[in-house]
Amino acid sequence: MALTFANVSYTYSEGLPYAQRALKDVSCEVERGDLAVILGPTGSGKSTLLRVAAGLLAPEVGTVLIDGEPVQGGATARAGGVGLVFQSPETQLFAETVLDDIAFGPRNQGLSEESARQHAVQALETVGLDPSQFAERSPFGLSGGEARRVALAGVLAMSPRYLLLDEPTAGLDGSGRRDLAAALAAARMHSGVIVVTHDAEEFLPHADLALVLSAGDCTFSGPADELIQRPAALADAGIRPPAVLETMIRAQALGASFRNLTLDPQDAAALLVAAREARA
């Protein structure tokens, strides 16, 4: 059971003078229950990768399989295969009430009005918004973080086996980020999650798998811990390492030597002290 990318390439405006190769020969496999983080600077092809994964763009070369089946855009979404949360998804809310908006997806899946609403209420709870407070509110009067979580709930309500998120924390303040991270942790209980971001700080510490994209090329693909041990793969792609990791790299440059690198502040502190004692 996995979402599989095999040798996927994609080119925008193919055949035109301004054709743009956005993905080159990308392969990866994300199991259900995994959190995969795809890192890359702006323009590296992250959003394109997600659109291809959701079957909204057909790859020029290669295949995308969801649990062994070829992905097919809206049909796969209705079948609960993939759910894609776009960048700034709050700009896509449209219904009169929050609950009605969230129930839109389940209704399209053919659920009865009653069970669509049930799914919607559950999804609201999953993202940490109290249904009794939010269900009947207008989606246009919410704060940025709340609206973002309502949009996430709109996708979660469709119970996708794989949840794809494009820059989910972009433009949120500190508390918005924390609430969203908690909502994602809850979502992870039911789905494989693929998060695309240019910010390694946010999701790398919780990731099982990591992929690094650089101008459409996949320059790293493997367990997240392997990426942490090879921070040059981040730097080469122009991604700033998480602060703890950066501190350790700078200590290394000053002569400290570590058995391994870590993102955990407590572990890092212990390693720094040990390195200092070893030198003395």
Partner 1 sequence: MRPPVPFGQYVPIESPVHRLESRAKMGLIVGYTALLFGSDGFEGLIVGALLAALAIAISRVPWRLPLRGLRAIAFLLAFTLLAHALRWNPATVTLIRIGPLGIDPDGLATGSFFALRIVLLVVGTSLLTLTTSPVQLTDGLERIMHPLELLRVPVGELAMMMTIALRFIPTTAEEAEKVIVAQSSRGARFDEGGLFTRARAYIPVLVPLFVNLFRRADELATAMEARCYRGGAGRTRLHESRMRAMDWATMLAGMSFMFAAALVL
Ligand X SMILES: Nc1ncnc2c1ncn2[C@@H]1O[C@H](COP(=O)(O)OP(=O)(O)O)[C@@H](O)[C@H]1O
Binding site for partner 1 (CB under 8 A): 12-13, 15-18, 51, 54, 56-58, 73-74, 77-78, 82-84, 86, 89, 91-95, 104-105, 108-109, 140, 154-155, 158
CA distance 169 to 203: 10
126 binds Mg ion (CB under 5 A): no
Token pair for 195: 């998060």
CA distance 227 to 248: 14
22 binds ligand X (CB under 6 A): yes
| Closest C-alpha among 51, 46, 9 to residue 27 | 9
Torsion of CA 243, 248, 251, 257, to 10 degrees: 180
Q: For residue 15, how many other CB atoms are within 10 A of its CB? A: 6
**Strand 209-214 relative to strand 217-223: parallel, antiparallel, unpaired?**
antiparallel
Task: For partner 1, give the closer residue by CB, 16 or 280.
Answer: 16
Choose, by CB under 5 A, the member of 44, 47, 221, 262 that binds Mg ion.
Answer: 47
Amino acid at 202: E
Task: For ligand X, give the closer residue by CB, 85 or 261.
Answer: 85
214 binds ligand X (CB under 6 A): no
Considering only residues 40 to 99 of the shown chain, the ones binding ligand X according to CB under 6 A are 40, 42-48
Binding-site ranges for ligand X (CB under 6 A): 12-13, 20, 22, 40, 42-48
